[in-house]
Amino acid sequence: MPKTSKILRAAGVLALVGATVAGCAASPVTEPTPPPLPALSSSERTQLYQTQVEAARDMLLSAHASATVPDVELVRFVLPSEWAQTMVGCMDEAGFAASVRPDGGIEFAPVADAQSEALSVANYVCGVQYPVDPTYARPLNDEQLKYLYWYFIEKLVPCLEAEGFNIPAPPSEATFVDQYDAHPWSPYSDVATSTEDAWIAINEKCPQMPSALFGQQD
């Protein structure tokens, strides 16, 4: 038998087995392969970083209109998974106590009113020195969005419903992808808890994002 025919035959058998297994399994949809992280050129990275800096500056001035925005140089890009710990270290060096939250955020120790602007400025400085790699900051492409939709429908919604939450009917995949930039849909939109601990617990049990959204790099 020609090699090509053998391959096609083997693929057919695999497809039949796959369809049979899928028919018996609880989840009828096969987990797709996580999309690889799209490459970013050096110039694209620089341009996106500059956009991040400008957005951070605008946010600082929105909170503290009279703040003096210091000139800050990039120290290094960080992975999303190391952002919080890196920021805490940087804030500590700036003289502000902070800690990493279970949800990946950073929590600042209370400061006197007179120090609130300085705290925000320090947060700006650290964010510009140690930004998340712009590779992870671009809008999701269609392949990533389809993977995210699969995760929402096949994993997240059942997980939240098993915990007693009512999740509204989801949009179609096409609608989800088309509208994500302007109106991103999330199964978490109607999930409410009365305490911080309960919120953290449900987020740990039913993560809002799949860990492989950016390939296996994060």
Partner 1 sequence: MSHGRSIMAAVGGAALALALVIAPATSASAAGSKSWNYSCSDGFLMKSYGRHTVGHYRNGALIVAWNNTVSTWRSTTFTGAPGTGTVYASYALYNSSGNCVNFA
Nearer to partner 1 by Cβ, of 9 and 156: the residue is 156
Cβ atoms of 158 and 201 closer than 8 Å: no
Q: What is the CA radius of gyration of the chain?
A: 22
Q: What are phi and psi of 189, to 5 degrees?
A: -55, -35
Nearer to partner 1 by Cβ, of 18 and 105: the residue is 105
Nearer to partner 1 by Cβ, of 11 and 87: the residue is 87
Provide, rounded to whole angstroms, the least separation between the CB of residue 24 and partner 1: 26
Q: Which of residues 5-64 bind partner 1 (CB under 8 A)?
A: 52, 55-56, 58-59, 62-64
Sign of CA dihedral 215, 85, 122, 203: positive
Provide, rounded to whole angstroms, the least separation between the CB of residue 150 and partner 1: 15
The yes or no reply on residue 165 touching partner 1 (CB under 8 A) is yes
Q: How far apart are CA 163 and CA 127, in angstroms?
A: 36
The yes or no reply on residue 188 touching partner 1 (CB under 8 A) is yes
Of residues 22, 105, 168, 175, which one binds partner 1 by CB under 8 A?
Answer: 105
Helices (H), 25-172: 42-63, 80-93, 116-129, 142-151, 157-162
Q: How far apart are CA 153 and CA 170, in angstroms?
A: 8
Provide, rounded to whole angstroms, the least separation between the CB of residue 116 and partner 1: 4
Nearer to partner 1 by Cβ, of 80 and 171: the residue is 80
The yes or no reply on residue 88 touching partner 1 (CB under 8 A) is no
Provide, rounded to whole angstroms, the least separation between the CB of residue 10 and partner 1: 38
Q: How many helices (H) and strands (E) does the chain have?
A: 8, 2
Q: How far apart are CA 85 and CA 92, in angstroms?
A: 11
Between the alpha carbon of residue 121 and those of residues 13, 62, 183, the distances in Å are 62, 12, 31
| Footprint on this chain of partner 1 (rule: CB under 8 A) | 52, 55-56, 58-59, 62-64, 80, 83-84, 87, 101, 103-108, 110-111, 113, 116, 119-120, 123, 127, 132, 136-137, 140, 148, 160, 162-165, 183-184, 186, 188-189, 191-196, 198-199, 202, 208-209, 213-214
